[in-house]
Structure 1
Amino acid sequence: MLPYMEADRRCLLDIEARILDLERSISTLRTEQARVQERLNSYTYPILTLPNEITLEIFLRFLPIYPKSPPLIGLHSPTCLAQVCRQWKELVLTTPELWRAIGLRGKIPYKQRREISAVWIARSGACPLSIDIELPPSYRSLPEMCIEALAHQARWEHLKLNVPLSAFPVFNAPMPLLQSLDLDINSLDSSGGEIEFNGLSLLRRVVATGLAVSKVTLPWGQLTSLSLYADARQCLSVLRQAPNLVHCHLDLWTSGIFDSDQVEQDIALPRLEVLVLDNAYGLSMLGVLNSLVIPALRELELEEDSLGENPISSLQSFIAKSGCRLERMDITRVGGGKGDANSYHLAFPSIPIFLDGVVVS
């Protein structure tokens, strides 16, 4: 036998022995691996032992408070919860309340938004819906992504529309569940006809901006809460039709000062308790204030510059005319203001007054 063959045989025997040792080690490791995996499989995460009712309450608090809509994808979306584990996925996909607020806005491509919204509407079951649609001013027609939502308008409970007037949807069917409506229809193009809604028997809250005020026809008389950003004359025209308001916020803009001698007749708001008057242009709102008679008013918030040269006298006249008993008056001042804190305190000793957020005492 050649010498090198003997050496190879000894080397082969050594290799086989080493392989046998490694196989024993691998077998030992696989046995240990199985034991560890068995322990992991038997472990139940504490949160997964919670009753479904509690888990669902956690999920609902994880999402934005309804009717605000969560993002369609990513963090704070119900789809995020469905990706954690199989148990959560089954729970999320079978809970309609998690899919009832749909926001058709953001930077997601329109085709993807259309597909996602169709899935969400299907998962929402028979739940009332909160719909938030936003389109850029350049749009001249309603995109397909909104068609699926429109088909379910009988289930709309809250509706927010920020769309061009030319792309405003046509509502031919009633919306018997609608409680709140938020319209922002400012547009590069003011073309378009009147905006009409049907069957709004439960509508109580409206927020309307710009063109929406003059173009829209709503059951103003049944509203209890109203926020308007519009020309002063448009606001007063709406207020004449809304005697049941409890809360009113007017953010006024106009081409000129709305003087008291332009008011046709007083507007009675017998149930109004909270009135907020904003004016980003620093224009006088005496004409608006003097036209209102609000006997139940408890809280008044406005800007001192909008009350003319003698704001304290203007407020005294308004309070005396309305016969109201204010419980709080918030006055915002620019610069030093026209009346000092002591003057306000002396003029209204029984009313808590806040000047720029600081209580007058």
Structure 2
Amino acid sequence: MADDTPSTESTIFNYYRSSVLRKMPPEIMTNIFQAFIDLDRPTAALHCATELATVCKTWYNIVMTSPSLWTNIFVFGRMVFAKGVYQVVKEWIQRSKTLPIDLFLFGDRHGSSDYLYSDRSREVFSNMVQLVTVLAESSHRWRAISFNIPFAFVRRLCDMAQDLSQLHSVKYSYKCRDSWGGSLQWKKPLSLETMKIGFKLTSSLLETFNVRSDSLTHLTVKEMSVERCMDTIRGSPVLRYFKTGLTDAVPIEDFVPPLPVVHEVLESLALLVAMDPNLLDRLLPLLTLPALHTLDLDLVGNQDPHIVQEFLRRSSAPITSMKLMH
């Protein structure tokens, strides 16, 4: 993050070393800086403190007065539970003025939840609550969130967030899952466009997250059953991209086929399966996708190719890309 004291050290970005740069208006300079930051997200964000502390005063002033450069908030590793981080995040949010905010919350690779059960657990928990409180105050400006942190943080943020009218994208990593079956539901139902779920989905999106599926256009789920997959497609009328892994093949004598689904707008479908050909055999005969453009299928074992052929014939879709992995 930016240092409060402008530095006049020379760097390759030094504004006064180039007559061309010196003549550029601040708007163009801002775009150049934004392009540099975007080259390597989120890695570049880790080094912003060094970059902003060593640029010339003119560059510094441009960055500090450009709200568009402060709309992405990255909190990494132990910083999620560190003392005083909420103050830095609060200032960062203030610099973004009224623009929409994208949050990227990443826990420690060794398991950030361990900090909550350490000898300093009370202090660590207090630090987390302060950070969540500051973030929640800006919830009316959230545009997208990427969660890669323990359940406890996500749970508290869901509880404290209020107006989420601008939120259109949420991504959950496997770290968000709670082994005790705790709730990840938001306080009020959400209508999102994009969701990515890095763990097995055992119930509906509404039951698990309090997210309505009728506005989803892009959905990625690590694993779900055939029945859950069909219910999800059926309940997502504007879904255009869908990727999931199929699991939990029940014995053939216990399988009750869901009602067939004709989805008029789904354009891209990717299905990964465990070592059981019955999964695709049960799903594809129930699907008709006349708008399909891209198809990725994971064929295993003695998979019957006629199942795929019949699906393609029935859908009669304008497919432009097809990948069959065996």
Alignment match, 1:248:
242
Deviation at 1:212, TM superposition (A): 6.0
The 1:88–1:302 alpha-carbon spacing in structure 2 relative to 1, beyond 3 Å, is same
Partner of 2:311: 318
Equivalents in 2 of 1:240, 1:222: separation in Å? 12
| Alignment CA distance shift 1:196-1:239 (3 Å) | farther
Does 1:304 find its partner at 2:299?
A: yes
Question: TM-score if structure 2 supplies the norm length?
Answer: 0.76
CA RMSD of aligned residues (A): 2.9
2-structure distance, mates of 1:166, 1:48 = 49
Identity rate of aligned residues, in percent? 22
Map 1:212-227; keep pairs closer than 5 Å: 214=203, 215-227=208-220
Matched, 1:268 2:262: yes
Q: Distance in 1 between matches of 2:137 and 2:202?
A: 26
Residue 87 of structure 2 is matched in structure 1 by: 115
- Letter of the structure 1 residue corresponding to residue 25 of structure 2: P
Larger Rg: 1
Moved more, 127-136 or 228-237: 228-237
Q: CA deviation at 1:82?
A: 5.1
Q: Which amino acid aligns with 1:149?
A: L
Q: Which residue of 2 aligns with 1:88?
A: 59
What residue identity is the alignment partner of 1:290?
P
Give 2:198's aligned amino acid.
Answer: T
AA aligned opposite 2:162 = A
Higher relative contact order (CA 8 A, sep 6+): 2
Structure 2 unmatched ranges of 5 or more? 1-15, 118-124
Q: How does 1:175-186 map to 2 (within 5 A)?
A: 175-184=164-173, 186=176
Q: For 1:234-264, what per-residue CA distance to the aligned partner results, in whole angstroms no more than 9, with x for missing partners? A: 3333222112111111133x24468695322
The separation in 2 between residues aligned to 1:145 and 1:88, in whole angstroms, is 29
Give the whole-Å Cα distance in 2 for the aligned partners of 1:154 and 1:101: 15
Give ranges in structure 1 of 5+ residues lacking alignment.
1-42, 334-361
Matched, 1:159 2:145: yes
Give 3-state SS (helix, strand or coil) of 1:210's partner.
strand
- Deviation, 1:71, is 5.4
Alpha-carbon deviation of 1:105? 1.8
Q: Secondary structure at the match of 2:275?
A: coil
1:174 to 151, 163, 167: 163
Q: TM-score, normalised by structure 1?
A: 0.69
Do the aligned partners of 1:213 and 1:234 also contact (CA within 8 Å) in 2? yes
Query: What does 1:1-361 align with in structure 2 at a 5 Å threshold?
Result: 45-46=18-19, 47-64=21-38, 73-74=46-47, 77=48, 80-81=51-52, 83-108=54-79, 110-111=82-83, 113-135=85-107, 136-138=112-114, 139=116, 143-167=129-153, 168=155, 169=157, 170-184=159-173, 186-187=176-177, 189-193=179-183, 195-196=185-186, 198=188, 200-201=190-191, 203-210=192-199, 214=203, 215-232=208-225, 233-252=227-246, 254-256=247-249, 261-279=255-273, 281-284=274-277, 285-286=279-280, 287-305=282-300, 308-311=302-305, 313-333=306-326
- The residue type paired with residue 199 of structure 2 is G
Alpha-carbon offset, residue 79 of structure 1: 6.3
Report the CA distance shift for 1:160/1:95 in structure 2 as closer, same or farther (over 3 A): same
SS for the counterpart of 1:275 is: strand
The secondary structure found in structure 2 opposite 1:221 is: coil
